[in-house]
Structure 1
Amino acid sequence: LESTLEIGRSIVLGAVFGECGIKGGSLAGFVDSEIASSAYYLVGWIGFSLVPVAGAVADARDAVQALINGDELGAALNAAGAFSGIGDGVKTGVAVSLFFSKYPTKIVEICKVLSKVLDDIPPYTALKVMDSLCDDAATALHTAHSVSVDTLIKLFDKGVDLNKVRTLVENTYTGVWSSGKLGSAANLDYHFTKHGKEFGLSGNPADLAGKQQYVDMAVALINEQVGVEKYYDTLHGTLGVYERSTGKFVAGNKESQIATLFIRTAKEIDNNPNRFIRLI
């Protein structure tokens, strides 16, 4: 783990040298490779040197002093005026993408460090930071599906793949049942036996018509766009669609398969906000 002073040095050097100091840059020889590949170097670069602002290095120094004084990273950067220039969003996304291309093994560290500053930077810039690491999925979820920036940051902070979330939301589910541990047919039989009676059906796997009704209800609910709540289930990595008025809950996976359909109490969802993250 880097000490506060080491973090501070990386931030200041990132502010001073920026793109020029990383691998392949014109001044790479002036910056130790360990520092240049640090996610905190990236923070200094995107926070203070992307948009010409008088006193950027002094601002970076002030941010480091705030860190030494005990401030959280995001608060320290924000107080020192990081990410203050117009146009930061696009340039930030490009810079993060370039940094990742130079140091692909640093992806976990980059995400972990950047998650500390997302709450303290402008929403558009936060979107572009996340986009640069997930093929523009953040902006797609925000603009096309009205997922809030705060929700996207929460998902990002938890290490959730936003591309996966986008796939889950944009899937069209046709009624194929997930295989689980039993195989698709046996897994459907299991869920129909367990939950069919909750919907006024027999729950008998031999009742083919009833079982098809169960599947049809699941398909209709998971593809519904009106009057439902959509969640990302961090425990199972699935999309959950909940009809609060009836208690119907259906889950689907990224392969467009149905995972389950049953009656769930609102309390189960409302009391577990870190598991069920509301998307829409």
Structure 2
Amino acid sequence: QRKTLEPTNKQVCLDLREILLTLTELNLGNNIFEEVPEQLKYLSSLQKLHLFGNKITTISPTIFDGLEKLIFLNLNNNKLKYLPPEIHRLENLENMILNNNQLESIPKELCSLQKLSELHLSHNCLITVPEEIGYMTNLRMLCLSRNRIGVLPDGLCKLRKLRILDVAGNKIQIFPIAMEDLMLRELYCEDNPLLQKQPVSAIQEEEVWSLKEIAARFIFSQLTKEDSILHTAVKQNLEACNILSKKQECAQCGQGFLNIWLECVRFVNKMKISRNVHLLPVRTLLCSYRCFNHPGHGFFGIAVP
């Protein structure tokens, strides 16, 4: 008579543990989780994690300790209001989807995820985007539609691999200075209060520069000369270096200046942009009314209501 050997509880647990340790994809979507299960940190082989359609409001920082191999994370349709700074530990992450949450900000630590190629943050409550986003050098798709963003950071223009940018349905009036440096294939910016080409009467104010501004402009002009003795003097003065690091450059004459003297806009149509938007308003800085009054430059002053 043959005997059937039933597995012991201990053997079942060992087998289950072995399976979990080799698990590469886990789908926990459309459940009623209110927080990310902390036990997930023990799934050291996990590469794809789906947590969409839950009621998650918080993520424990310790969850990121054991998920170094994670490349895909989907947290769509939850109730997240913030992300812990420890999210930077997901250093192999390539795709993060956080649409339809309640995020009010993005931690700057998120921007250290240099392998990230897609970041989806549509339908949240974002007001700003961190300047450090320029560190995400492999980002190819950035979706920020239907938030409350008023100003895009200059760091955005450092994303040389970015091909798709979606900022539709925000509060953006003007784009960063170096916007044309991006090699975008698709740009969605409809439903924003973009500045329009509408002539208004202008009032030219008297140009009165502070001593600090006068000195800074003189130094900027001298530093363009190779034999200037100011090169050595500036390097030896940390306070001067800090002040001069805030240099702006006039779009008309190319001269350096310190404080924003005259903020203007130019309208470009060299980019493939979304429907209903024919010209893209791009921020431009001028150093003086003299440059603004120079004929033929195509810059428009911004009227303050």
- Structure holding more strand per residue: 2
Q: With structure 2 as the length reference, what TM-score do the two structures score? A: 0.30
- Structure holding more helix per residue: 1
Q: Select the structure with the greater relative contact order (CA < 8 A; seq sep ≥ 6).
A: 1
Larger Cα Rg: Structure 1 or Structure 2? 2
